[in-house]
Structure 1
C-alpha cells in the first residue's frame, strides 16, 4: 500500500473534509479526491461518506485511521528529526486556552525544558476547546488542553485538574452584596453590580448562576474582554463583578484587592483535559511532556 495514499487518507480523516486536507497537504482538492478513490479501489471498500459539508468516515475508514495514524506520525517524526545525534532535538506543539496555558501549563513545561534545553523545544498556540481539538486532530498540535473531552477513538484525553470558580469584585461592592454573602436570597442585589465577562453570552457568570443559584443572570455584560486576565484587571479596578478561576484571583484576594461576593457550600468546578492523538504517546518527547504535566497538575488547586 502506498504510504502517500495513507498519509492523504489520515489527513482527510483528521480534517473532516477534502478541501481542508488539501490545504494541509499543499495539494489540490481534485488530487486529494483522486488519491482517496485510488485507496478505496485498492481496499475494495468505501472509506468516507461524502456529505454536503465535508466527509464522515465509514466504520472501515475509522478502523484504518486508528491503526495507521500512530505509525504515520512516527514516520513523520523520524523524517523530521533524522537518525543522527546532531538532529535529535524534539519540538513539542502545545495548544490550549490562553489564560490556563500561560499561567499554568507553560510555566510547568519550562521546568521540563530547563532540564533538557538542548534536545527539547516548545511551540504554543491559544484557542478555545473546539479549535484546539480540531488542530490536534489535524496534526497541528501534539498536546491540547481544554475543557471538552473529545469523542471517538482518534483522540485520547486524560483529566488534568479541576478549576474552582469564584465570584469576586472590588471591596467597594462588598457592602451592597452583604445579604448575598450572608446566604440570603441576594441574587437581586448581585444583579445591580456591573458584569465583566469574556463573551456576550456570559459563559462564566451563567455557569456560576446556574450551579449556585439555580437561575440565569439577568444583567447583561457591562465590560466584555476576551481574556480572563483582563476580567481580573477590570474587577480589581472596581468595574464590577466577575467569575474567575481561583488560581487566577488568588493573589488579588490575598492582598484584599478583590473580595468574594458569595461563598457556596460546593463551589462550581470545571475540569481540564489533556488530549493527544491516539498512539502518539509512543513518541518520547510527547510522552515526557504529557507525564510531566499530569505530575505537576496533581499539586494545582
Structure 2
C-alpha cells in the first residue's frame, strides 16, 4: 500500500474534508480525490461517505485510520528529528489557551527539557479550543490542552484539572454594589462574567464591558489598576489576592469551575516523548489550585 496514499487518507480523515486536506497537503482537491479513490480501489471498500459539507469515514475507514495514523506520525517524527545518533532531542508540539499554557503547562514541562537525558524540545502555540483541536486533528500538534472535550474516536481526551473562577476587583471597589461596577473582560460577549453570573446568581450581568482586552493576564492588570471587576481563574489571580492587589467581591459556597482536558490523537501515546509530557502534566495538575 502506497505511503503517500495513506498520508493523504489520514489527513482527510483528520480534516473531515477533501478541501481542508488539500490545503494542509499543498495539493489540489482533484488530486486528493483521485488519491482517495485509488486507495479505495486497493482496499476494495469505500473509506468515506461524501456529504454536502465534508466527508464522514466509514467503519473500515475508521479502522484503517486508527491502524495507520500512529505509524505515519512516527515516520513524520523521524523525518523531523533526523537519524543523528548524537542528538536525542525529540520535539513536542503543544497547543492550548495562551494564559493557562504559559502559566501552568509550560513551567511544568521544563523539567523534561534539561540536561537529564530526557531530550525534549518544546514548541508551543496558542489558540481557542476549536483551533487547538482542529490543529491537533490535522497533525500540527502532538498534545493539546482544551476546555472542550472532543467527540469521536480520532482524539482521546483525559481530564486534566478544574479551574476555579473568582470575582475580583481592586480594594477601592470593595463594598460597592456589583451592578454599579465597570467590567473588565476578554471579549464583548463577557464570557467569564456571564458564566459566573449564570452559575452563581442564576442571571445575566446587567453591565457591559468597560475594558475589553483579549488576554486574561491583561484583564488582571487592569483590575489591579482599578478599571473594574473581573472574573479570573484562581491560578492567575491567586498571588494578587495574597498581596492585596485585588480582593474577592463574592465567595460562593460552590465556585464556578471549568474543566481542562489533555488531548492527543488516538494511538500517539505510544510515542515516548508524547507519553512523558502527558504523564508529567497529569502529575503536575494534581498540585494545581
Deviations 1:157-197, CA, capped at 9 Å, x for gaps: 11111111000001111121xxxxxxxxxxxx312111111
SS in structure 1 of the partner of residue 113 of structure 2:
helix
Task: Tell me, in whole angstroms, the C-alpha distance in 2 between the residues paired with 1:127 and 1:2.
Answer: 34
Work out whether residues 112 and 119 of structure 2, in 8 Å CA contact, stay in contact via their aligned partners in 1: no
Q: TM-score, normalised by structure 2?
A: 0.96
2:247 aligned to which of 251, 256, 259: 259
Structure 1 counterpart SS, 2:251 = coil
**How many pairs were matched up?**
289
Alpha-carbon separation, structure 1, partners of 2:261 and 2:121: 22
- Separation in 2 of the partners of 1:221 and 1:229? 16
Q: Distance in 2 between matches of 1:75 and 1:107?
A: 29
| Match of residue 229, structure 2, among 230, 236, 241 | 241
How well do the aligned residues superpose, as a CA RMSD in angstroms?
1.5
- The counterpart of 2:202, out of the listed 201, 214, 226, is 214
Deviation of 1:117 after TM superposition, in Å, equals: 7.5
Q: For residues 174-189 of structure 1, what are the structure 2 equivalents within 5 Å?
A: 174-176=174-176, 189=177
Gaps of 5+ in 1: 177-188
Task: Indicate which of 237, 240, 256 corresponds to 1:268.
Answer: 256
Aligned to 1:163: 163
* Structure 2: runs of 5 or more not aligned: none
1:139, distance to aligned residue in structure 2 (A): 0.3
Q: Deviations over 1:216-268 (max 9, x none)?
A: 11211111111100110110010100000011111111111101110001111
- Look up the match of 2:151: 151
Question: TM-score, length-normalised on structure 1?
Answer: 0.92
In structure 2, distance between residues paired with 1:174 and 1:92 = 45
**CA distance in structure 2 between the aligned counterparts of 1:84 and 1:254, rounded to whole angstroms:** 49
Q: Secondary structure at the match of 2:282?
A: helix
Q: CA deviation at 1:65?
A: 1.2
Q: Distance in 2 between matches of 1:263 and 1:42?
A: 63
Mean Cα deviation higher: 98-107 or 12-21 = 12-21
